[in-house]
Structure 1
Amino acid sequence: MGSSKKLHIVLLEPFFSGSHQQWAEGLKKHSSHRIEILSLKGRHWKWRMHGGAISLAKQFNELTEKPDLILGTSMLDLTTFLALTREKSSGIPVAIYFHENQLTYPWSPQDRDLKKKRDNHYAFINYVSALSADKVFFNSEYHKKSFLGSLPSFLKQFPDKREKDQLKGLTEKSEVLPLGLDLSRFDDYRDSDKEKQSEPVILWNHRWEYDKRPKAFFKQLFRLKEHGHAFKLVVLGEQNDVNPPIFEEAKEHLKDEILHWGYANTFEEYARWLWRADILPVTSKQDFFGGSVVEAMYCDCHPILPNRLAYPGHFPKKIRRDYLYEEGELEVRLETALETFMYLRQIDYQSLVKHYDWSELIENYDDALRNVVEL
């Protein structure tokens, strides 16, 4: 336990939407510190990483009160922000929270910058932002290890003066603060009729993007249907201007199984569908934490997750095999889950993830943020 000093913290979020917005608002709501959020709308992510710091620096320079701590997030070019606010930010401790990073995040094959070899700059923004901060927080142990572990090979591609001696200090000031989630708000929408439903419900509750590997997910469902397995399907999640074509194909191919298709317009609708679902097969290529997975598990949905990325960190070692699959095992694990879904409905998955609720995590956050100021 740290002291009881209450801090004034300015939280900088260039991409204020989705999980980033929920995290920022959750921290502000639950923290004993006074959190002031400066933000920009969550769109045009590349431009936010380039220009967001300029806009947020302008907002910061207009503040009348000097905060005790500046807390940026991973979409912020912290070096540019600090340069443009140096008269006002000088002497204020700075921390950065990594929701994701562009060094180990897989790029879309359709991204024009990838073909032009222009993907290094965004990773470099993350790297120098971490170097510039007094403290670096990651949302999972996997995220921390993958980012720090990838830096030596990332720097190796540059011609000289790579300053690899900086990595030791970066590692020493890095720490894990799991993603805080407002899980208890799901409690009001628990579905007491779930036990009466005679067919298992498969769930997708992620973004409609390629890194979640929707093609692999739906191909598994096509096979299940061809083999005569009965199931229903709920497809939720944020959609983009250009969704992977597999979604339209799946909507037609699985039309008889679909209970819901598309973004839930209210939290209540989203929560009720999670409580209604039985099985969450995940095919993601990348997940630094897995907020949508944790939310589904909190609503007692059985997860079938790849044994990689951040997922192993959600389970004690002795039961990981029950929920994590190796390459090539997903089809068999899914079939087994469909055959035993009535039994799976009796398992308490919520107890595995309820420690991510803000009520359980906020004291750790408050102490960690206080410690940055007391460094």
Structure 2
Amino acid sequence: MRVLLLSAYTAVSHRHWAHGLTERIRDVEWTLLELPPRHFRWRIRGNPLTWSLKEHETLSRRYDVVLATSMVDLATLVGLYPHLGAARRVVYFHENQFAYPESEGQRPQGEARMVNLYSALAADRVVFNSAYNRDSFIDGARDFLKRMPENLPAAAPLERLRECARVLPVPIDPVAGRGRTSSRGRLIVWNHRWEYDKNPDDFFAVLIALAERGVAFELAVMGQRFRRYPAIFDTARQRLADRLVAWGPQPRDEYLALLDRAAIVVSTTWHEFQGLALMEAAQRGALPLVPERLCFPELYPEACRYDGTREGLERRLEAWLLDPSSRPPVPSARAWEWASLEEGYREMLGL
């Protein structure tokens, strides 16, 4: 079987997913085309043109399956290369633009949303990494189209898409041995992107308040850092200097070693469709503490969720730090690993 795998905006999780597929499913002849994760507005609208000018020979070949991320303008690409329409067309949604929170001053990403929608409609199969991703896409598309000039009868086809769509998480790699099933210690981990949508303000405000009350903990702030990042990070580095054991991106071995000794991994995010960083930390024995929103209710037990407010996070975190015996068991990560998900991916490809 010949599969053309297209990833138009290869962020870290997209690269992990694409390379995991090509490495794990070996009885397939893979052709992988990727584009770097920069110049978002151009990338999501211009990827068919970029590939047609740079990869014309590759796109002119015949494939059994075309597997594209939702950043790929599949409808336009099939228009430029009609023979690709004869292949089984699958679109995988790591995220969707209808549920992406906009920072102050940002304009709505209308074109990006339309690319998501056209690609889904041009596919034979649509796959999402979480039920939240699926439902926020369908509901968001319906609300978006209601605001357009024409009263389009979109509800029925969108609901059919919801019914036929598959939920299949991005798999995480197995670890040697099994992670801890109970959490002790006081090392708290932040291992998310340093961006506004991850809501670092609530996270650091809570830790600063706990530190001022003398609650004992250590802190490792890791994750992907960009040239520009929210100012709260610099404030937190000063206010929590005596609690820090790591600051900034770490070499992979050191990052994993910190996860191995972490007690708690926290999310305060406004934007998450799966959360690979959280899954990876939980897999290695860190107890996840996540808000009661987004994808988290379908992934983590109630005992690992707080009410989504800053006050709720502070109460739960303080209780866990002062009394480690009050912490629930660390949830199992087996359902997120390749051994549990590979058959689903093989079925997705038609194997």
Aligned ranges for residues 9-48 of structure 1 at < 5 Å? Answer: 9-31=3-25, 32-48=27-43
Matched residue type, 1:139: N
Aligned ranges for residues 219-234 of structure 1 at < 5 Å? Answer: 219-234=205-220
What are the Cα deviations for residues 299-345 of structure 1, in whole angstroms up to 9, with x where unaligned?
11011111111111123xxxx2211111341111000111233775x
Indicate conservation of the 8 Å contact 2:5/2:32, yes or no.
yes
- In 1, Cα distance between the equivalents of 2:171 and 2:56? 29
1:90 maps to what in 2? 85
Match of 1:166 among 157, 174, 179: 157
Aligned ranges for residues 214-293 of structure 1 at < 5 Å? Answer: 214-264=200-250, 266-293=251-278
Indicate conservation of the 8 Å contact 1:304/1:325, yes or no.
yes
Indicate conservation of the 8 Å contact 2:191/2:277, yes or no.
yes
Q: Name which structure has the greater RCO, CA cutoff 8 Å, separation 6+.
A: 1
1:141 maps to what in 2? 131
Q: Specify whether residues 59 and 370 from structure 1 end up closer, same or farther in structure 2 by C-alpha distance, changes over 3 A only.
A: farther
Match of 1:299 among 284, 303, 306: 284
- In 1, Cα distance between the equivalents of 2:326 and 2:146? 52
Q: Structure 1: any 5+ residue segments left out of the alignment?
A: 1-6
- In 2, Cα distance between the equivalents of 1:302 and 1:90? 46
Secondary structure at the counterpart of residue 38 of structure 2: coil
Indicate conservation of the 8 Å contact 2:45/2:111, yes or no.
no
Indicate conservation of the 8 Å contact 1:180/1:357, yes or no.
yes
Indicate conservation of the 8 Å contact 2:179/2:285, yes or no.
no
What are the Cα deviations for residues 36-61 of structure 1, in whole angstroms up to 9, with x where unaligned?
21111122222210112222344553
Q: Structure 2: any 5+ residue segments left out of the alignment?
A: none
**Count of residue pairs the alignment pairs up:** 344
Indicate conservation of the 8 Å contact 2:272/2:294, yes or no.
yes
Taking structure 1 as the reference length, what is the TM-score of the superposition?
0.86
1:3 maps to what in 2? none
- In 1, Cα distance between the equivalents of 2:302 and 2:329? 16
- In 2, Cα distance between the equivalents of 1:187 and 1:125? 40
- In 2, Cα distance between the equivalents of 1:222 and 1:247? 12
Q: By how many angstroms is 1:153 displaced?
A: 1.3
Q: Specify whether residues 190 and 360 from structure 1 end up closer, same or farther in structure 2 by C-alpha distance, changes over 3 A only.
A: closer
Indicate conservation of the 8 Å contact 2:135/2:162, yes or no.
no
Matched residue type, 2:57: E
Alignment RMSD, CA only? 2.2
Q: Specify whether residues 149 and 249 from structure 1 end up closer, same or farther in structure 2 by C-alpha distance, changes over 3 A only.
A: same
Identity, % of aligned positions: 34
Q: By how many angstroms is 1:348 displaced?
A: 5.5
Indicate conservation of the 8 Å contact 1:12/1:37, yes or no.
yes
Indicate conservation of the 8 Å contact 2:320/2:326, yes or no.
no
What are the Cα deviations for residues 99-135 of structure 1, in whole angstroms up to 9, with x where unaligned?
0011111112243xx2xxx422211111111111111
Secondary structure at the counterpart of residue 352 of structure 1: coil
1:323 maps to what in 2? 304
2:176 maps to what in 1? 187
Matched, 1:311 2:301: no
- In 2, Cα distance between the equivalents of 1:276 and 1:299? 9
- In 2, Cα distance between the equivalents of 1:291 and 1:337? 23
Taking structure 2 as the reference length, what is the TM-score of the superposition?
0.91
- In 2, Cα distance between the equivalents of 1:24 and 1:277? 28
Matched, 1:334 2:334: no
Indicate conservation of the 8 Å contact 2:2/2:65, yes or no.
yes
Matched residue type, 1:323: C
What are the Cα deviations for residues 120-154 of structure 1, in whole angstroms up to 9, with x where unaligned?
22111111111111111000011111111222211
